[in-house]
């Protein structure tokens, strides 16, 4: 349960660290770290404008998107303390609650009746569909390696053993989770949040019709999603048995490092060509499948 306020704290600063990193690397003074939260505060004070072509789905989508993100916080553990509501195979619940939020955002974009937003929704659905196996196979690998299927038990047992294989798979998991987080949040190299080119927009075009309070909810959900993946990355590489105070320091440091990596990547990395995105995402699934195969061999569940 201690992880929930820490994730929300990280989410508060995460977008600002990304923007600040990009400002420094481009030689600009740029806004302060809390400027994105100030922008959200301004959006909360504004009313929402709805097109006459939209219905209740469009209005409901941002609420469901944020609610789905808040609901997954209940299954995220911190250090050696269990999650608020741990249960077997809760990583499947995690995956499909995120899918529920994204589904409503997609049909909310379609509800506008705009072919432009429908194009973005189509791409968002494709990328999410392709990256989902990578996450589930990765968590299946962790489950096979530790013998548990709950986030809390997996990450507690993950560092109990001094076997170097655990460390190797932790680093592989860290890499895959970073890439999955970038895809799920529509960032480089899949999408560029700064772009306004009609032929290359993905997530940004989906939320063009949102304004005011609704858009604030969307931005908050995005910040929390980044922090949630940062928490999973931290759990993959930091031993759960370490002192809680040190764990908190490492948690915040890893979240900050994750945000800085996102900022550096968006400053120096070019976006993939649209036709290359599917190949890139499937490569992550291939890496996860290879890790799963190695675990089957190591645990002698597959003999070759």
Residue 293 neighbours by CB under 8 Å, 6+ apart: 302
Beta carbons of 173 and 138 less than 8 angstroms apart: yes
When the pLDDT of each residue in the chain is averaged and rounded to a whole number, the result is: 85
Q: What is the pLDDT of residue 159?
A: 66
Rounded to whole angstroms, the Cα distance separating 108 from 53 reads 12
Of the candidates 129, 36, 34, 83, which has an alpha carbon nearest to the alpha carbon of residue 232? 83
Rounded CA separation 41/72 (Å): 24
pLDDT tens readout for residues 233-266: 988 888 777 777 888 898 899 999 999 998 888 8
In tens, the pLDDT along 258-276 reads 999 988 888 887 777 877 8
State the pLDDT confidence band at 197, using cuts at 50, 70 and 90.
Answer: low
pLDDT tens profile 46-95: 888 888 888 889 999 999 999 999 999 999 988 778 888 888 988 999 99
Q: Residue holding tokens 């700064």?
A: 194
Q: Which residue has tokens 């009746």?
A: 113
Per the CB < 8 A criterion, the answer to whether 287 and 278 are in contact is no
pLDDT, one tens digit per residue, over 147-164 is 888 888 888 877 655 567
How confident is residue 280, by pLDDT bands cut at 50, 70 and 90? Answer: confident
Cα(116)–Cα(113) distance, integer angstroms: 9
127: pLDDT strictly greater than 60: yes
What is the C-alpha separation between 166 and 154, in angstroms, rounded?
A: 11
Cα separation of 128 and 180, whole Å?
A: 9
Residue 85 CA, chain-centre distance (Å), reads 20
CB-side neighbour CA atoms (13 Å) of 153: 15
Tell me the CA end-to-end span of the chain in Å, nearest whole number.
43
State the Cα angle at 261 between 280 and 236, rounded to 5°: 80
């Amino acid at each position: 349960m201690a992880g929930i306020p820490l994730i929300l704290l990280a989410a508060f600063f995460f977008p600002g660290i990304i923007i600040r990193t990009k400002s420094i690397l481009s030689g600009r003074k740029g806004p302060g770290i809390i400027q994105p939260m100030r922008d959200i505060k301004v959006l909360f004070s504004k009313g929402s404008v709805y097109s006459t072509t939209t219905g209740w789905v469009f209005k409901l989508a941002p609420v469901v998107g944020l609610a789905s993100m808040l609901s997954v916080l209940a299954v995220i553990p911190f250090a050696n303390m269990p999650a608020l509501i741990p249960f077997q195979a809760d990583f499947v619940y995690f995956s499909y609650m995120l899918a529920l939020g994204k589904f409503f955002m997609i049909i909310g974009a379609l509800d506008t009746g705009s072919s432009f937003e429908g194009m973005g929704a189509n791409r968002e659905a494709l990328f999410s569909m392709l990256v989902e196996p990578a996450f589930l196979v990765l968590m299946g690998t962790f489950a096979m390696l530790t013998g548990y299927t709950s986030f809390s038990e997996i990450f507690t047992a993950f560092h109990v053993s001094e076997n170097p294989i655990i460390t190797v798979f932790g680093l592989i998991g860290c890499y895959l989770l970073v890439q999955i987080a970038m895809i799920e949040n529509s960032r480089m190299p899949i999408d560029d949040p700064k772009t306004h080119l009609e032929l290359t927009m993905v997530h940004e075009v989906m939320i063009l019709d949102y304004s005011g309070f609704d858009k604030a909810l969307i931005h908050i959900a995005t910040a929390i999603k980044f922090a949630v993946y940062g928490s999973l990355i931290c759990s993959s590489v930091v031993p759960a048995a370490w002192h809680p105070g040190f764990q908190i320091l490492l948690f915040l440091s890893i979240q900050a490092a994750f945000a800085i990596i996102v900022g550096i990547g968006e400053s120096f990395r070019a976006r993939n060509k649209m036709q290359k995105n599917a190949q890139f995402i499937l490569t992550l699934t291939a890496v996860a499948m290879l890790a799963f195969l190695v675990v089957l061999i190591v645990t002698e569940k597959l003999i070759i």
